[in-house]
Amino acid sequence: MKYTDVKLYAYEVFAPRLGGQVGKAVDWGIIGLIIINIVAVLLETVDPIANAYAGELYFFEVVSVFVFTLEYLGRIWSITEARDHENPLTGRLRFMINPMMLIDLIAILPFYLASIFAIDTRFLRALRLVRVVRLLKVARYSKSMRSFGAVFRSQKEKLVIAAFADMILLVIASSIMYQLEHGAQPELFSSIPAALWWGAMTLTTVGYGDMYPITPMGQVAGSLIAVFGIGLFALPASILAAGFIQDSQEEDEEAKLECPNCGTAVDSSDWVSAIPTPGLDLFASDWLCAGMKG
C-alpha cells in the first residue's frame, strides 16, 4: 500500500462519517478507553486501592497515553488530506489549535511533563487530576455533544445577556440585604462583597444555611429575592431548550430531500445509498422515482 493511500485511509478513519465500520470501531474503542481512564483517576484518590494497585494503574496509564498519543499524531499527520488543510505546515498548525485538538493535547501532556521534569509531589497530583479533561474527548465522538456545542455557539449572545442580567440581580440583591442586615449581623453581612455569598446561594438554591436574614424586613426581602431569582436564573435553561429545539428541527429539515421528478420526500441517507454510480447527477436522473416507488 502506498504512503498516500495509508494517509488517506487514516484520515477517513478519524474523520466523522467517513470511516465506515472501522472508524466506528475506533471511535467506540477510544470512548471506552476514556471512560475507563476516568474511573482509574477516581480510584487513584482512594488510598487503599491506589496503594494496592499502583503498578497496574500506572501500566494502564502508560498504555492509555500511548493510544491517545497515536491518535493525536495520526490526526495531525493525516489532516493534510482535507481540502482546507492541504498545506503540510500551516494546515497542520491551524488544525492543532482547534479546540478539540487542544483538549487532546492537554489530555496527554501531564504524563510527559511528569516523566521529563522533576516535579513537586503536590503539583504532580494536580497534574494527574488534569487527566479528567480526557472526558471532554468524548465530545469528538458524540453527535449529541457536538450539538450541545453548536447550540451554545448559536445562542451565545442571548446567554451573555441572561448572565449579565443575573449578575445585576445578584449585586442588587446583595446590596439590599447588606443594608437591611448589617446592623443586626455585622459579622456576617460585613460588606456587600460578603453579602454576595448569601445572594449567590439564595438566587441559585434555597440557601447554604451559614448566612440568612433575621430581621423582619430582611426576611421579606429575602423571600422576594428568592422568588425573582428562580425566574431569572431559569432564563439560560429556557434559552438552551429553545436552541436545542431549533437545532433538532434544522437537522430534520436537512435530513429530508425531495425527488426532483415526483416531489416525494426521502431521507438523505436513503438518497445517497441509492446512487448506482459515483458522480451521478441526481437532478437529471429518472431512476430515483422508480427506486422510491419500488
Region 136-162: mean pLDDT is 74
Q: Which SS3 state, helix, strand or coil, does residue 98 take?
A: coil
Residue 247, all three cell numbers:
437545532
65 and 30 Cβ atoms separated by less than 8 Å = no
Q: Which residues lie below 8 Å from residue 271, measured CB to CB, with a gap of 6+?
A: 257, 282, 288
pLDDT of residue 118: 67
With cut-offs at 50, 70 and 90, classify the pLDDT of residue 18: low
- Domain covering 3-141 in this structure, CATH number: 1.20.120.350
Region 37-51: mean pLDDT is 86
Task: Outline which parts of the chain fall under CATH 1.20.120.350.
Answer: 3-141
pLDDT of residue 253: 61
Task: Outline which parts of the chain fall under CATH 1.10.287.70.
Answer: 156-235
CATH assignment of 156-235, among 1.10.10.60, 2.160.20.80, 1.10.10.10, 1.10.287.70: 1.10.287.70
With cut-offs at 50, 70 and 90, classify the pLDDT of residue 217: very high
Per-residue pLDDT tens over the stretch 159-194: 888 888 888 888 998 899 999 998 898 888 888 888
Region 256-264: mean pLDDT is 50
